[in-house]
Structure formats: C-alpha cells, structure tokens
Copies of this chain bind each other. A is one copy, B any other.
C-alpha cells in the first residue's frame, strides 16, 4: 500500500500524542480527542486510521495501547534506529534535542565533522553516553560497524552536496538535510529537508498577510 507523505506526518503526530497518553496510563481515546490535540479534524483522523483496517471500535473509540502499537508498526518504528550527525564543529548547533530522540525510538551513534580541528574530541551529556567526534573520512567504516540508518547533514550549504555524496558512498540511505539547498541522491536514497529558514520565511509571510486585516 502507498501512503502519502502528509498522512505519514500526521500518523507520526498521533503516535507522539498517543505515546504520551499511554505513559500516563490512559486506556481509551477518540478521534475527536486526537484531532483536538494534534490540530486537525476528527474526520481526518478517522480517515487516516481507517486506511489500515478496523483500528477502532464503533461507538467506543480507540484503545490507546493497541493503536499506538499499530501506528508504530505501520511506520516501521518497532526497532530503534541508528542516527549519525555530520556537521558544525560547534556541536551544539546540530539541530537536535537529544532527549526527544531517546523518547522517539532513535539513538545517536556517531558524530562527524568536516573541520579536522573539531574532531578527536568527545561530547558528553547528562542524557546521552559519551560520543566521539570523528573526521568525515572515517564515515565509510563507521557506517557499517555502527549500522547507521540515518545521517543528519548540518554543514554549510556549499558543502552539502559533497557531504551527501560521501554519505551515499557509505551506503546510508536516509538523509536529513538541515540546509535550504536541494541535494541530489541516487534512486533508493532519500533526502528530507528540515529547514528553519524556509519555515521562518513561511511564518513571516503568514503573519504579514493576516496581520493587515486583523479586525473581525
């Protein structure tokens, strides 16, 4: 079955909400509850979920543990996925909230940097075990030994294509690109852009366009 990107994004949102509810010990929910918490309509929630069979019970609602597990299974998030970050030596600027990763079925396994001055150090955090910063030329080797599933590329726009090429050579098929440039990859590899600049540009436009006619 082919599921569109927008549906996957919503399922991901639902799942994060449901996981939270599950941890609170809640057992039952409804499409209108999920809808309200995720900022969409109830019909849309039902349509999304109904694609995968009878996940709910008519007249009752959805059982949270079942639904949560069901969505994770649909999304393929049943095993922990391995992430590497390639980017600014200024490690903090990596666009990641570690805590959220650990919450979300992902685990950070490697850090790389293009500036050699930044490498051969290690980073420690109270949430995460210590991770070494490696030079980019060790990517091939580590990609295999650490079974990296996803590379987050956070380099300068001008370096992005070159770094992405190396990631591809290392056989890492999933790439998240934090810069506002498009990176070409062979078939079978996927790049997703997560770009602040773009989202902010969008926000600014929306503010200005609705800011004019503010009255009722």
Contacts and interface: CB of A to CB of B under 8 A. Distances in A.
A176 B200 CA distance: 8
B75 A204 contact: yes
A145 interface: no
A106 interface: yes
Interface string A69-99: 0000011110001010000101111111111
Interface residues of A, number: 74
A34 to B, nearest CB: 10
Nearest to A125: B90
A116 interface: no
Please indicate which of the listed interface residues A37, A176, A180, A214 has the most CB atoms of chain B within 10 Å of its own CB: A180
Nearest to A173: B207
Interface stretch (A8-16, A47-55, A133-141): A8-16
A15 B201 CA distance: 10
Given A3-B205, A9-B202, A176-B203, 16 more contacts: A5-B206, A8-B202, A12-B180, A16-B181, A74-B205, A75-B201, A77-B201, A95-B196, A96-B196, A174-B203, A175-B203, A176-B199, A188-B211, A192-B200, A192-B202, A192-B203
Interface of A: 2-3, 5, 8-9, 11-13, 15-17, 20, 37-39, 74-77, 81, 83, 88, 90-101, 103-104, 106, 125, 149-150, 154, 156-157, 173-176, 178-182, 184, 188, 190, 192, 194, 196-211, 214
